[in-house]
């Protein structure tokens, strides 16, 4: 990506903030490792959301203040967390029963690739050796909806939103919405539909960075998160 375009990209914190704004009132939500766990820090004031961590927490709160961390209390990313009033600590098997039993309204996951039909690849690039898929496939299959958080292109400038995934799939046809460092995109029966995009680039520039057709049925809203994230 050129230096000019790089200056418009959202930070990881800004991507997590934007996704958190769309989490509906009363939702039960799993946050995947990496970028998604930061969504717990950005839920709008007054909105009740219950976050679940697959290692056995229901009712995850924001990250604790520096110096107040308890490293016996961590999420699936091994980051220290707080507990909200009414939170529960459960056995790992019970945590996965919540996931596979269809009790989660939403899973917010990272992504290596998202295909235009909603296929998700997020557990292996196909080349790197990883210990295993973990809970990613359970979440992709068990949650009522899946959102993906990712950069629009990889470090080599290759699109991560593609016509068909080349990497091993985590789930087929599961992703409903994608939040990138450049745009918010819905995954529909027609493919990728642009809803929001950052200031400083135009639709054609965004299309050039997207590896599948990008439909623009109306003028996209501008994506303007807080600057200090």
37-72: pLDDT as tens digits: 999 999 999 999 999 999 999 999 999 999 999 999
Residues 6+ apart with CB under 8 A from 111: 120, 121, 122, 148, 149, 150, 160, 175, 178
Q: Are 40 and 29 in contact (CB under 8 A)?
A: no
Q: Are 19 and 179 in contact (CB under 8 A)?
A: yes
Task: Please tell me the distance from the alpha carbon of residue 218 to that of residue 48, in angstroms, as a whole number.
Answer: 31
State the catalytic residue, choosing from 3, 25, 48, 54. 54
Average pLDDT, the chain: 94
Query: Could you give the residue ranges of the DSSP H alpha helices within 74-210?
Result: 92-100, 136-142, 203-208
Which token pair is 166? 């080349």
Residue with tokens 């930070």: 11
Longest dimension (CA), the chain: 49
Q: Please write the tens of the pLDDT for every residue from 209-221.
A: 999 999 999 899 9
199 is catalytic: no
Is the pLDDT higher at 7 or at 190?
190
The answer on pLDDT for 15 being more than 90 is: yes
For position 131, what pLDDT does the model report?
66
- Window from 26-30, 60-64, 182-186 with minimum mean pLDDT: 60-64
DSSP secondary structure string for all residues of 176-201? EEEE-SSEEEEEETTEEEEEEEETT-
Which token pair is 136? 């990613």
Do strands 57-60 and 113-115 pair parallel, antiparallel, or not at all (unpaired)?
A: unpaired
The answer to whether the predicted template modeling score (pTM) of the entire model surpasses 0.85 is yes
């Amino acid at each position: 990506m050129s230096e000019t375009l790089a200056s418009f990209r959202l930070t990881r914190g800004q991507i997590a903030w934007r996704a958190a704004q769309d989490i509906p009132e009363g939702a039960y939500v799993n946050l995947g490792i990496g970028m998604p766990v930061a969504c717990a820090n950005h839920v709008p004031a007054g909105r009740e959301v219950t976050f679940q961590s697959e290692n056995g927490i229901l009712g995850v709160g924001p990250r604790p203040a520096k110096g107040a961390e308890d490293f016996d209390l961590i999420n699936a990313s091994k980051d220290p967390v707080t507990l909200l009033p009414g939170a529960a600590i459960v056995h790992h098997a019970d945590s996965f029963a919540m996931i596979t039993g269809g009790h989660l309204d939403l899973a917010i996951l990272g992504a290596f690739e998202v295909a235009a039909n909603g296929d998700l690849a997020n557990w292996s690039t196909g080349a790197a050796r990883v210990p295993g898929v973990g809970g990613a496939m359970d979440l992709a299959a068990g949650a009522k909806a899946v959102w993906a958080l990712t950069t629009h292109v990889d470090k080599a400038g290759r699109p991560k939103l593609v016509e068909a995934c080349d990497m091993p799939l985590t789930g087929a046809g599961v992703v409903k919405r994608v939040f990138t460092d450049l745009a918010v995109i819905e995954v529909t029966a027609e493919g990728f539909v642009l809803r929001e995009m950052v200031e400083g680039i135009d639709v054609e520039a965004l299309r050039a960075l997207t590896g599948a057709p990008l439909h623009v049925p109306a003028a996209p809203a501008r994506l303007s998160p807080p600057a200090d994230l």
